[in-house]
Amino acid sequence: MIEAMPRTGPAQAIPKPIVIIGAGGIVRDAHLPAYAKAGLKVQGVTDLDAARSGALARDFNIPTVFSSVAEAAAAMGTSAVYDIAVPPDAIPRILPDLPDGSAVLIQKPMGADLVQARAVRQICRDKGLKAAVNFQLRFSPMMMAARQAVSGGLIGDPLDLEVHLNIFTPWHLFPFLLPMPRVELLVHSIHYLDSIRAVFGTPKGVFARSLPDPRAPGLAQTRTSVLLDYGDLRRGVMSINHNHQGGRKFQSAWFRIEGTAGAIMVKLGVCFDYPNGEADELWFCPNGGAWRQVPLTGSWFVEAFMGPMRNLQRFDAGEDAQLFSGVEDAFHTMALVEACFASMAQPSVPLQTT
């Protein structure tokens, strides 16, 4: 059976203090609450908006407000872990100011496109950074358990994976997305594509369409369909709609994973009434048996945010052998997202009606 246990990993023996770069909403809502729960100390913060970083420091008792990334790097050196939580196109400009050899957690996505992701990867290589990308959904208790179940053969040979969302997302909470030409796949469904890779493996190719919606004015895309090509046996599909106006009754947000011996259902609770959310859920059914719910310790928001930082700190200290979401692996998720956008530029097969 799937074990009901925490899967974010243990705390590192002697954690380093954290310096936050970027004082936006995700830091308030997830990073800092998760680090507090994990017993991690945040030593400093910096943001282009000094008032915003000052307010964050006051609200969360952060001892130091740095005027710039360079000042933070000069003061802390490699004695701190740097948590970068900024818009994607700012990442390549920030990394060069960090100390060589430092430990860095980079907010997803790993750049605005594959060109920037390649640049980010090269900077990390050149500076010897111990760098991971904050693909925290794969660290959530539900997805870690699902991955364990699949890799352990609990569902038999994996056959089918579907991600289905029909929800209402309050896009007004994210005004920085309005000028971006890539939205839904790059900043939201990238989590699902990354977790698909972690649980089901990396596909050989994709077919994708991502569309705007008049119910979400000004946003480049808020609806997405993706078919994942695994060859002749495995099937992967995503269907995403962020604009459902019919209330909670028929909203849905789940992963369905099936194999020759059983099936798993994963409910993404945070997607309902965001940012309030509902409880995450994990269900398992052996072939011919009954569905049973697996108890979870923690959720995507906020417990999953402990995982990438703990793994990075342990890797930096030599306590973990690998980075579960290191930049080298995260680059493959970025390549998958880029393939989706490349697919969107290709024509569909026309009907032959004559």
Q: Residue 81 and residue 19: Cα distance in Å, rounded? A: 6
Question: From the first residue on, what is the mean pLDDT of each consecutive set of 10 residues in the chain (354 residues)?
Answer: 51 88 92 93 96 96 97 97 95 97 96 96 98 96 95 96 97 90 96 97 97 97 98 96 97 98 97 92 96 92 92 95 96 97 94 92
The pLDDT value recorded for residue 12 is 73
The pLDDT value recorded for residue 4 is 45
End-to-end Cα separation, the chain, in angstroms: 55
The pLDDT value recorded for residue 5 is 40
The pLDDT value recorded for residue 2 is 56
Find the Cα–Cα–Cα–Cα dihedral 59, 61, 67, 73, rounded to 10°: -140
Residues of the chain by 3-state class (helix, strand, coil), percent to 5: 40, 20, 40
Q: Is the peptide bond before 275 cis (omega within 30 degrees of 0)?
A: yes
The pLDDT value recorded for residue 176 is 86
The pLDDT value recorded for residue 297 is 87
The pLDDT value recorded for residue 14 is 86
Q: Residue 273 and residue 169: Cα distance in Å, rounded? A: 8
The pLDDT value recorded for residue 173 is 86
Q: What are residue 134's phi and psi, to 5 degrees?
A: -80, 60
Going along the chain from its start, the domains and CATH numbers come out as 18-137+305-326 (3.40.50.720), 138-300 (3.30.360.10)
Query: Over the range 145-160, which residues count as b (16 or more CB within 10 Å of their CB) and which as e?
Result: bbbebbeeebbeebbb
Q: Is 147 strand, coil or helix?
A: helix
Predicted TM-score of the model (pTM): 0.93
> CA 294: distance to chain centroid?
23
